[in-house]
Amino acid sequence: MAKSVVGVRFKKVGKIYYFDPQNLEVEQYDHVIVETVRGVEYGEVALGPREIEDDLITAPIKPVIRKATDKDTSDFERLKRKEIEAKDIFIEKAKAHKLEMKLIDVEYTFDKKKAIFYFTADGRVDFRDLVKDLAAVFKVRIELRQIGVRDEAKIFKGLGVCGRTTCCAQWLGDFTPVSIKMAKEQNLSLNSTKISGICGRLLCCLTYEQEFYEEVTKKMPRVGQQVITPDGEGEVFKLSILEETVFVKMQLEKDETEVRKYLLADIQKKKQEKKPERKPERKREKKSEKKPEKGKKDK
């Protein structure tokens, strides 16, 4: 059964969450006030009203309370200024407690009941006393969240190795797992400086073409395999996955060879002839010769 929902985003490049519009007329780019697990929040409609199957929605779905008013917008902007002030206080208090923490971002919930501080640290940090001090200053519920280097890069932004703004800061909502196996399958240099982002982790863009590489690789012959081309038989010398082409080493006259390029569709894999199975040889049974017993003469 389908349900009518809208997709709301709370950060410029953040994850999209589904909410029940409750018969409210909301459109894409409208600002709305919604109820979340963290409390009441101010967000922007990233996806307009649409029907989505129930199995694609994480239940229970929270409601959209109302469309944001001018007062809501001014309150939200005031909170953003308050977050900047909170950063200085946090840094001062963390130094007083001699805690090795790097503050990344601060967020207030729209209902002003909670302040969330995002930080990075080399290891685990005991910040219980710090939380008490912050609660005494801000008079709200305090939450500290330790985040990873990828989230830090997403918040701070920067330029990737391609020269453009990093994907995570520009449009990428969620991080997906990236493995070194992807770089190997795409025939990329395994030099960490070339396949790592500004966060020091493997480039997120390695996942963009991985599905294509896996699909085409299944059709490709192996390097060293014998194939049949329009010019005859040859041995696979090199593969180009993106172009879907195969470089084949052809045998010419006078023991000369030449590497030629063919489209994948123009070659056929040569079937390997099955070698006849050898039947296991039967072991000959040795006839045991009985030696004459001592004291008895042969007749």
Residue range 49-106, pLDDT digits in tens: 998 887 777 777 899 999 999 999 999 999 999 999 999 999 999 999 999 999 999 9
CATH entry 2.60.40 includes domain 74-147: no
Look over the chain and give the mean of its residue pLDDT values, rounded to a whole number: 87
* Runs of H (alpha helix) within 38-102: 70-96
Q: In this prediction, what percent of the chain has a pLDDT beyond 70?
A: 90
So what's the pLDDT on residue 131? Answer: 95
Angle value at C-alpha 152, between 147 and 153, nearest 5 degrees: 145
Phi-psi region of 157 (alpha: psi -120 to 50; beta: other; left: phi over 0): left
Query: Per mean pLDDT, which range of 36-45, 56-65, 166-175 is the poorest?
Result: 56-65
Q: Any idea where the domains of the chain sit in the sequence?
A: 2-68, 74-147, 151-207, 220-269
So what's the pLDDT on residue 251? Answer: 87
| Residue 294 banded pLDDT, cuts 50, 70, 90 | low
pLDDT in tens, 16-29: 899 999 888 999 99
Structure-block tokens of residue 149: 């280097």
Q: In this prediction, what percent of the chain has a pLDDT beyond 90?
A: 59
Structure-block tokens of residue 289: 């010769």
So what's the pLDDT on residue 289? Answer: 53
Angle value at C-alpha 109, between 121 and 81, nearest 5 degrees: 80
Contact 33, 75 (CB under 8 A): no
How far is Cα 128 from Cα 133, in angstroms, rounded to an integer? 9
Which of 214, 225, 211, 220 is closest to 239 using CA atoms?
220
So what's the pLDDT on residue 299? Answer: 42
Sheet bearing 141-146, strands edge to edge: 102-108, 114-120, 141-146
Stretch 284-289: mean pLDDT: 54
Structure-block tokens of residue 100: 């090795």
Task: Count the Cβ atoms, other than its own, within 10 Å of residue 119.
Answer: 21
- For tokens 């009518």, name the residue: 4
Q: Is the peptide bond before 21 cis (omega within 30 degrees of 0)?
A: no
Which of 15, 9, 6, 8 is closest to 172 using CA atoms?
15
Per CATH, the number for 220-269 is: 2.30.30
Contact 86, 68 (CB under 8 A): no
Phi-psi region of 98 (alpha: psi -120 to 50; beta: other; left: phi over 0): left
Structure-block tokens of residue 34: 């919604």
Rg of the Cα trace of the chain?
Answer: 34
Does the pLDDT value for residue 285 go beyond 70? no
Stretch 131-155: mean pLDDT: 93
